[in-house]
Structure 1
């Protein structure tokens, strides 16, 4: 039976440690097609007899059909009781977490078979999850190799903050005028949970708490399309920059989370000027 994703994803320095390290993922060589041994170690084909052997095939839409499975440890066939959609969803969540944590590094290439080996599942749900991440702009397909994590810069992060403000500031102002005060009180436990998550200093833990709070707040407007778009922008804004720190300082996370409590107070008081200022500063600080 395919197992759920567990553990963190590592980098190429951890690749040679073998499968006993948990679900750590080796970064793979950027040059040439990669060849993987039974424990996920990475080599490269040269120009000789082995060049091109075992390479994956791509369909007309660029979807990957397989990457270098000939030398890897076989994965047992899934039993009928396993639902692929469930496994794919778990892998997708694990990969998104790895992106936020910086374990999937910008510019590095990862193959579905090696990721599947580390997660204890076949390559298929990993490939499907990676293709979803490609649609979200997190990775790109690299022919004959796998998927490369997109490299972002400070300009893109600033642009995301601007777009989020353009969408959410008008919504917040409308909600401030129409939502009863007691509804804002219902969101206070989520804001307080965010402060606790920030105090832990874990970027991944706080990113999830932040997402839950913003989703619950925007859901009061009743526009599911807007909530989905805002959540996608939020997810993109959490990916670390290339060459930047993997996580923000704990003090920065706590300050960010505390703004949620201040925002709830301003929304309860229907202080539109403070609401607008807090939302804009919140997104600017996240950038």
Structure 2
């Protein structure tokens, strides 16, 4: 939980980020559900902090597309549609394709895979992918989301433009919020969640962008099909 605003060791900006992170996790876990409304005062009382960092955190989450702000009613969790999800997949695909093309072209921003530090970073991403695979196989959505977001962020940092990596991370958070909203009520997720993380790391480590593209296309197709079926069902 965020520390009290009276604690001089915690700056307001740090407290603001802690509150934003905590609320984002609540949304990702489905504990704050689509359309659920709350006020700055309610969140401030919940966390035992002053209104200012809470208001700033809520504005930040609104800017990220996770919350809707209403001047008179406060804030509510944004409700994502299937069409929203299609737009996210399309945007992710366009950015990822640009990153693959730059890798094909041997752009200098990509780190030397023979460098020991890079090799260690790749090993870390591979471990994250393996944890995500296990969580997906077990149907453990909460654990999967945590590892999946870390996996993609670290992978994109290795193989892509850091500015695009930040953009993709925001899209993936939105994608997971949308997914959680549509998965609510599904009791058994075993075998229904994508788990090809390790295949993607292997392909990129070998600079095999043909296979990497195929893995990402399969991932996007799987995710979109799942959401469309849940929405229709």
Range class of TM-score, shorter chain:
0.7 to 0.9
| Distance (Å, rounded) in 2 between the aligned partners of 1:139 and 1:217 | 27
Cα deviation, residue 238, structure 1: 0.8
SS in 2 for 1:141: strand
Cα RMSD between the aligned structures?
Answer: 2.7
Task: Show the counterpart of 2:36.
Answer: 108
Deviation digits for residues 55-89 of structure 1 (CA, Å, limit 9, x no counterpart): xxxxxxxxxxxxxxxxxxxxx87243432222211
| Distance (Å, rounded) in 2 between the aligned partners of 1:114 and 1:143 | 16
Task: Show the counterpart of 1:118.
Answer: 46
SS in 2 for 1:78: coil
Gap runs ≥5 in structure 2: 107-111, 225-233
Superposed counterparts of 1:11-26, under 5 Å? none
8 Å CA contact 2:5, 2:15 repeated in 1: no
The 1:284/1:218 distance shift into structure 2, 3 A limit, reads same
Cα deviation, residue 210, structure 1: 0.9
Task: Show the counterpart of 1:92.
Answer: 20
| Distance (Å, rounded) in 1 between the aligned partners of 2:124 and 2:147 | 15
| Distance (Å, rounded) in 2 between the aligned partners of 1:110 and 1:234 | 24
User: Which structure: larger Rg?
Assistant: 1
Gap runs ≥5 in structure 1: 6-75
Task: Show the counterpart of 1:169.
Answer: 97
8 Å CA contact 1:187, 1:216 repeated in 2: yes
Structure number with greater CO (CA < 8 Å, separation at least 6) is: 2
State which of 163, 176, 198 in structure 2 corresponds to 1:238: 176
| Distance (Å, rounded) in 1 between the aligned partners of 2:100 and 2:123 | 15
Structure whose residues are more often helix by fraction: 2
Q: Which runs of 4+ in 1 moved over 4 A?
A: 176-179
Task: Show the counterpart of 2:230.
Answer: none
1:251 aligns with 2:191: yes
| Distance (Å, rounded) in 1 between the aligned partners of 2:20 and 2:203 | 36
Cα deviation, residue 279, structure 1: 0.8
